[in-house]
Structure formats: C-alpha cells, structure tokens
Amino acid sequence: MWISTTSTRRRTVGRLLLILLIIAAVVLVWMAFKPSTWKRNQQVGAAQAPKQVKGPDDDEEFLWTIEKNRFKQRRAQEEAMREEEERLKRARERYRKPGETSGTTSEDESGTPDGAPDTNDKQ
C-alpha cells in the first residue's frame, strides 16, 4: 500500500517543532535558575544586611545632627533678637524724658513737634 508522504512529513515536522520548543524552554529555565544564580542571590542577601555608608549624605544620623544644629542656631538667633529688642525697649524707657509719652512724635524743649516752626523764638 501506498502511504501519503505529505502526512508523514507533517507529522515529522510537527514532532521536530515540538522537540525544539521543549529544548528551548528547558534552556531558558536552566539559564534563569542555574546553580550560579543561587550563589549570587545568597551574596545579594548577605550584602544588603549591613547598610554601608558611603558618604556623609548617606548617613541618617549625620543628617539628623545637621538638622538639629541648624534648629538650635535658629532658636539662638531668635532669642538673641528678642533680648536685643527688650534691651532697646528698656533703654528707651529709661532715657525718655519725664513728660514724654511713648508715642512716636518727639518734641523739643519748647513743646513743639520736630520740624514745626517755633513761635516762641525771638529773632
């Protein structure tokens, strides 16, 4: 009996394709999970455990210390400004003339505001 060559060729080609796909899948799985990657994963896990500080900007404690020092400096400057304002306020009160009020207009001895013509002066 005569057997069709096209159907045998199709079966053979199909089997070859199936074998090639299986081989390709095995190679890809092997490349992804071969034993050398096991060691690399263990090394990566071990390297991540101790966090290495490479510079001062990586060190959280160093950055916190800088921030704390800046805060203290700002507070000290604010306190110094408050003390200076209080000192100036006490000095103004101490050297103010007895008849003056704490207003902003200053008067000279004749009782007229600064810059106003003095009518008591004789020429």
Q: How far apart are CA 6 and CA 102, in angstroms?
A: 116
pTM above 0.85, yes or no: no
DSSP 113: B
Q: What is the pLDDT of residues 86-101, one digit of tens each?
A: 999 999 998 887 766 6
Q: What is the pLDDT of residues 21-41, one digit of tens each?
A: 999 999 999 988 888 877 765
Is pLDDT at 1 greater than 50 in this prediction? Answer: no
Q: How far apart are CA 10 and CA 18, in angstroms?
A: 12
Token pair for residue 34? 């071969």
